[in-house]
């Protein structure tokens, strides 16, 4: 069956994304989507772009979007690179900055795409174990090496790394690139963007999928020294001519401009996270301190897999991994207040069933 596949293709193991259900209506707390709609300015910008821009190829350089992001983040447009979601940006960065003969480092528990990208580009890597509370150990990242990738806040734990630790890691690796993946940073963590001016080896990656409610449009970006941005452009323009589409660029511009709306929805999610975390602790859960739009929880007596299935039976999807160290944890996206009430009610039912 695979007779016509390339050698490379035969050796691949595909990644499994979180379930996107069709048919039955679930409460989706499994893929860290934002429960609120995008800014009205984003919707208006998309409608305007629909009027005349659909038959035309998009601006491959995302000029206006880069200008907008630069303005919001107080950097220069030349410090910004835009891609089709932060996954594409990360993939291009792995290609542009890491070499096969120099191992890169990331945490043992972190975004599962890092080893996938490393494998795809033939890179070697070292997985640094988080401590028993899922905190990032500093020492192993301080020796120079082939590069570092940190998710901050980390996924799937939600834990924020110490800002001074991140700076120390960037300082300790002046001859290799440190990527800080800030997909979830807007929900309460401190961004490393403010360090970009000072450290030419720091690349910060963010996305509009979470805090700007635009997972459906696939827009992410990197912020870094212009030499790093040039590297990303070189890789992209050498083999990848799939620019961010017209409507995605338009929507992203609208969403970035509406800073008030962004702050309001982020604050709502932070408040809901705080309330539901307390509620779950009362129910016997240990809840990791989260600076993200999800929480990572484990129950004192009921196994995570039992809770996962019980929630699914009640129409609620959350995320679970059958992996060492975290197989008794669930990652639960912060939805609306109503959705979190439904979650707590369903968990109460499942727990009481287990106690019978």
Per CB under 8 A, which of residues 220..279 are in contact with a copy of itself? 227-228, 230-231, 233-235, 237-243, 245-248, 251
**Neighbouring C-beta atoms of residue 92, cutoff 10 Å:** 23
Instruction: Extract the tokens encoding 72.
Output: 């919001």
Nearer to a copy of itself, 80 or 228 (CB): 228
Decide: is 84 part of the binding site for a copy of itself (CB under 8 A).
Answer: yes
Largest CA distance in the chain: 63
DSSP code string of 115-173: HHHHHHTT--EEEEPP-TT-PPPSGGGTS--S-EEEESS-TTT-PPPPHHHHHHHHHH-
Yes or no: say if 213 and 335 are a contact pair by the CB < 8 Å rule.
no
Smallest distance from a copy of itself to CB 216, Å: 3
Decide: is 23 part of the binding site for a copy of itself (CB under 8 A).
Answer: no
Decide: is 284 part of the binding site for a copy of itself (CB under 8 A).
Answer: no
Instruction: Extract the tokens encoding 279.
Output: 């509620």
Smallest distance from a copy of itself to CB 219, Å: 9
Find how far residue 177's CA is from the centre of its chain: 19
Q: How far apart are CA 178 and CA 203, in angstroms?
A: 6
Q: Please list every residue from 86 through 125 that binds a copy of itself, using CB under 8 A.
A: 87-88, 91, 95-99, 113, 116-117, 120
Q: How far apart are CA 11 and CA 28, in angstroms?
A: 33
Decide: is 77 part of the binding site for a copy of itself (CB under 8 A).
Answer: no
Smallest distance from a copy of itself to CB 342, Å: 18
Binding mask 156-175 for a copy of itself (x = CB under 8 A): -------------------x
Smallest distance from a copy of itself to CB 207, Å: 11
Q: H or E element: which one contains 9?
A: helix 7-10
Decide: is 345 part of the binding site for a copy of itself (CB under 8 A).
Answer: no
CA proximity to 125, closest of 157, 142, 101: 101
Q: How far apart are CA 140 and CA 109, in angstroms?
A: 15
DSSP conformation class of 273: H
Q: How far apart are CA 98 and CA 124, in angstroms?
A: 9
Instruction: Extract the tokens encoding 67.
Output: 């200008």
Smallest distance from a copy of itself to CB 43, Å: 6
Map 30-81 to HEC letters.
Answer: CCCCCCCCCCHHHHHHHHHHHHHCCCCCCCCCCHHHHHHHHHHHCCCHHHEE
Nearer to a copy of itself, 60 or 315 (CB): 60
Decide: is 286 part of the binding site for a copy of itself (CB under 8 A).
Answer: no
Smallest distance from a copy of itself to CB 38, Å: 5
Nearer to a copy of itself, 201 or 298 (CB): 201
Q: Tell me the site size for a copy of itself, rule CB under 8 A.
A: 88
Q: Please list every residue from 25 through 54 that binds a copy of itself, using CB under 8 A.
A: 28, 31, 33-38, 42-43, 46-47, 49-50, 52-54
Find how far residue 344's CA is from the centre of its chain: 25
Q: Which member of 82, 214, 317, 343 binds a copy of itself (CB under 8 A)?
A: 214
Smallest distance from a copy of itself to CB 198, Å: 15
Decide: is 298 part of the binding site for a copy of itself (CB under 8 A).
Answer: no
Smallest distance from a copy of itself to CB 99, Å: 5
Smallest distance from a copy of itself to CB 102, Å: 9
Yes or no: say if 43 and 254 are a contact pair by the CB < 8 Å rule.
yes
Decide: is 67 part of the binding site for a copy of itself (CB under 8 A).
Answer: no
Instruction: Extract the tokens encoding 58.
Output: 């998009």
């Amino acid at each position: 069956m695979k007779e016509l596949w390339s050698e490379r293709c035969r050796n691949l193991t595909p990644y499994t994304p979180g379930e996107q259900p069709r048919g039955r209506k679930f409460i989706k707390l499994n893929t860290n989507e934002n429960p609120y709609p995008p800014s009205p300015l984003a919707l208006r910008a998309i409608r305007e772009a629909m009027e005349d821009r659909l038959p035309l190829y998009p601006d491959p350089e995302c000029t206006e979007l880069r200008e907008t992001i630069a303005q919001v983040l107080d950097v220069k447009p030349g410090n910004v690179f835009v891609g089709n979601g932060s996954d594409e940006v990360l993939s291009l960065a792995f290609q542009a900055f890491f070499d096969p003969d120099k191992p890169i480092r990331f945490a043992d528990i972190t975004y599962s795409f890092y080893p996938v990208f490393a494998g795809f580009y033939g890179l070697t890597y070292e997985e640094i174990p988080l401590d028993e509370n899922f905190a990032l150990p500093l020492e192993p990242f301080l020796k120079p090496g082939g590069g570092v990738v940190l998710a901050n806040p980390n996924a799937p734990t939600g834990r924020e790394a110490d800002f001074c630790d991140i700076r120390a890691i960037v300082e300790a690796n002046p001859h290799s690139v440190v990527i800080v993946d800030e997909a979830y940073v807007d929900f309460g963590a401190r961004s490393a963007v403010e360090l970009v001016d000072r450290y030419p080896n720091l690349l910060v990656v963010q996305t509009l999928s979470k805090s700007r409610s635009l997972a459906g449009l696939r827009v992410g970006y990197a912020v870094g020294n212009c030499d790093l941005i040039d590297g990303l452009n070189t890789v992209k323009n050498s083999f990848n001519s799939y620019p961010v589409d017209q409507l995605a660029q338009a929507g992203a511009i609208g969403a970035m401009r509406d800073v008030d709306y962004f702050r309001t929805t982020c604050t709502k999610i932070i408040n809901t996270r705080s309330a539901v975390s307390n509620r779950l602790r009362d129910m016997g859960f240990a809840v990791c301190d989260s600076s993200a739009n999800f929480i990572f929880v484990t129950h004192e007596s009921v196994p995570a897999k039992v809770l996962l299935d019980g929630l699914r039976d009640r129409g609620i999807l959350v995320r679970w991994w059958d992996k060492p160290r975290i197989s008794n944890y669930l990652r639960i996206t912060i939805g609306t207040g109503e959705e979190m009430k439904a979650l707590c009610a369903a968990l109460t039912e499942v727990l009481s069933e287990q106690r019978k």
